[in-house]
Structure 1
Amino acid sequence: MKEYIKRLLLAIAITAILTILILGGMQSIANAEESFGELNWEFPADGIITDIFGSRNGGHKGIDIAGEIGTPIHAVDHGIVSKSYYSTTYGHVIFIQHESGFETVYAHLQSRDAKNGQYVKQGETIGRMGNTGKSSGPHLHFEIHKNKWTVSKKNSIDPFVIFGRGNIGQTVTAGDKNIEPVLEVAKGIHESSILYTVEVGDTLWEIAEKYNTGVEIIKEMNQLSNEIIMPGQQLIIK
């Protein structure tokens, strides 16, 4: 009987300790997200979110913002350029160390306008969007790291923790802090129109040629501000 009571008390003690640890961990995460939210950062580029943190079986440690070649890339906050060079994987890439203790990464650039050791202001243009390094199309690959970037990316942080939750297909604007909702296709499709689902490798030019229409017509019907489309996106084709 005494042995049973001892085991029961031990189980209760372990449960209490685990509860405290779990609640403490949850509170720490909540506090961390709250403190991240206090950062007055702005999005680094105009474009559409095409990939998010943690995709590719957890291997993607940032977000991708797709746009047109040459789109200006801006510093999300003031800081010192810690690296500016060409990488076989990142392509033209810039790292900025911020006073808040974070380091941000801007990869696959077409060109770099900021040099090592240079002080940059929030919103300052540091480069242009490109398709360099291991990249499948023009976009900005953007990462955030607590303290410093490492090869293992163990310090990486989901950018949405700072900017607010977003998802693939949403639009962001440089200098803004908000994520725009996904544009819905127009309702009430005319009988002479079809609803086309974009496939991997599709371009607006190829789709327009296939259905004997024009790129500008497709853009107008679907409220597209540029020619960027993504797999899975639905387009009204007249």
Structure 2
Amino acid sequence: MQNLRRRMLTPVLAATVAIAPALGLAAPASAAPAAPAGLVFAQEAADEPDWHPASVSVTTAKISKTAFTLKSSEGCANRAHITATLSGPLPTENVLVSAVGVDIRRNGAIYDATLLTNTRGNVWEGDLLVCGKDPAGTYSTELYGAYVTGTGVNDPNLTYYRTNVTTGRYTVKRPASVTLNAAPEPVRKGTKLTAKGVFSTDGRAAANTKVQIWFKADGASAWSRQATVTTNAKGAYGRTFKATTSGTWKAVVPATGSRNEVVAYDAVRVRK
């Protein structure tokens, strides 16, 4: 994600008015003097200001993609487009800084943030970048507009305004795969048949993972779970069964918060 490890629409805005044009923020024609060196970082740890209701509100907010599956070694090419529509324009006259941004939370804490750009009318847009280095799991988003009035960070009348907050979420998961080979095939009825394979996630063999082994006889409509086994240090699993009838075997590794469910099949003919 973008390297903005701070809450963008808090007192940091007031402290960063000197670099507002570089961030794409609106600022008055005669900006206040630059904040003293180090103030930005001091402000980052401060409590949130007392927000006042903004004169506009967020009416719609959309994110183009809410599920990402990528290896931890991937870069930051994955993205989702964010579009927000406000009920009117954010004030710019006599305003120190104004912006629409998105705070990204992981496990309840601020993880990242991104700023949107005013593209047309009251529409703001931007991209959420998702990188392989981002931990797998669920992220929540908080989108809102904010502006600050006053002459500078030392103004006792400095006032913070914020619109309503719209929330959303997206997930980051690692790719997974499972193989299955039920052998021998064909197999003689009453003899042994072994269902085995390998499970991997994020491109590596995964140990201590539960794999469900299912079977459905030819002509049947329902699957029957035959066993649940655990992968070894090399990601391998296996179980031996008595061959009774022809059908299809299935290996299932259920989804978790960090990966999607994966399934593999293998049909076996049982002969007399």
Based on CA coordinates, which of the two structures has the bigger radius of gyration? 2
Structure showing the higher strand proportion among its residues: 2
The structure with more helix, counted as a fraction of residues: 1
TM-score, length-scaled by structure 1: 0.26
Question: Given the two structures, how large is their TM-score scaled by the length of structure 2?
Answer: 0.24
